[in-house]
Chain A
């Protein structure tokens, strides 16, 4: 059983995220058409395609991978998810440093740095109906699992489950950030599209690490 996320594994994670975004892009756009500007799926399809193209040839450290991925998302996505996911990977890469693999604890540090970046970029709090509602509980759960002695794959699976729970919890919320906040009460009853794509990101990680 793998006990680290290797550089190749991290690239495979991004590939799995790209595949999930392709498969569920229409669903993301449908969620976004209810409370946003109906482009979240198409933006992430374009962004993740651009990322996978930019990773050939592959970077030689996790830091370089994070920077390349982040900058590519920033320049290719267009919507708010560009600077937000871009910040996630830029901060994550910077926290990883010039290494070629991450053990369970190091992955926790990297995920935390990325999620803190998203939170400060978007000035989001839990309950604002944003991607942070999925990502915040996910990194907390990941850290708790690692602290309890779980291996990296088990911790990632727990994080993905926590993200999904956080995503589902956005449905009854009234949006306080982003385009959906213009809708006020009318945003209630719809899952936040950012929380849905963020959950896909963590589910892709869990699938990549699965034994």
Chain B
């Protein structure tokens, strides 16, 4: 699993963002190391603290660094110069700190590689954009219907969302991490939109509320298991 580093001017902001993200992965997520604030408790960043956090989060699978404003980026770049990682990749993410961290933690908890987690974080504003976009027409053109029935698919399963909030952040994260643990590609479509079930962001962007009907399809060695796991989570109302 990749490691994650949070660089912020504010220790309080970083701690709260990490709490928010950790809530999405109650069964355990990646190491999230923090470098935030000045040593005297003020607002600021310190490249040597970032270097220490990079070491704490070091993983052979790589490390993703999420940052807030201005000098957080400068300090992270300087930290990489002061103590370059020896045998793993470190990526500095342009993602927004809070949304990006939540998305990255969930995706990383599902075992995704660094490039996938980095892309997930970069796209982290999408659910908010979709939620605020005019309802009709949809913000994105729907995927062709055939994509759900393509070769190699092990059938399509229809389920109805029972929990009151629908596919909001926590259920989406539960679903994405459950799917992430399996060797299967699972797609979920609703209302003309199609999502990778391993991406909590794409799931949230479906805008599926209570009573919504979802079409599940899966391919890969664990496809049948994946469909059962997702079906069970939905039928259970995600424990809500």
Contacts and interface: CB of A to CB of B under 8 A. Distances in A.
Interface residues of A, number: 20
B48 A75 contact: yes
Contacts of B70: 80, 178-179
A71 B42 CA distance: 19
Contacts, number: 54
Interface stretch (B74-82, B85-93, B166-174, B220-228): B74-82
A184 interface: no
Contacts of A86: 47, 78
Interface string A171-205: 00000001100000000000000000000000000
A82 interface: yes
B75 A83 contact: yes
A48 interface: no
Interface string B163-197: 00000000000000000000000000000000000
Contacts of B39: 75-76
B46 A121 contact: no
Nearest to A91: B81
A78 B78 contact: no
Interface string B77-120: 11000000000000000000000000000000000000000000
A interface secondary structure, majority: helix
Contacts of B38: 76, 78
A178 B70 CA distance: 6
Interface string B39-51: 1001111111100
A87 interface: yes
Given A75-B39, A178-B70, A179-B69, A82 B77 contact: no
Contacts of A79: 44, 71
- Residue in A71, A74, A86, A121 with the greatest tally of chain B CB atoms within 10 Å: A74
B48 A83 contact: no
B48 A78 contact: no
Nearest to A42: B42
A170 B186 CA distance: 55
A49 to B, nearest CB: 12
A121 B48 contact: no
A71 to B, nearest CB: 7
Contact of A83 (B42, B43, B69, B71): B71
Interface in B23-69: 38-39, 42-49, 69
A-B residue pairs, 8 tightest by C-beta: A78-B44, A80-B71, A83-B74, A78-B38, A83-B78, A74-B47, A83-B75, A75-B48
Interface of A: 37, 39, 43, 71, 74-80, 82-84, 86-87, 121-122, 178-179
Given A82-B75, A179-B69, A179-B70, 14 more contacts: A39-B43, A74-B48, A74-B75, A75-B46, A75-B47, A78-B38, A78-B43, A79-B44, A80-B70, A82-B44, A82-B45, A83-B78, A121-B78, A178-B70
12 contacts: A43-B44, A74-B78, A78-B38, A78-B43, A78-B44, A79-B71, A82-B44, A82-B46, A82-B71, A82-B75, A84-B74, A86-B78
Interface of B: 38-39, 42-49, 69-71, 74-75, 77-78
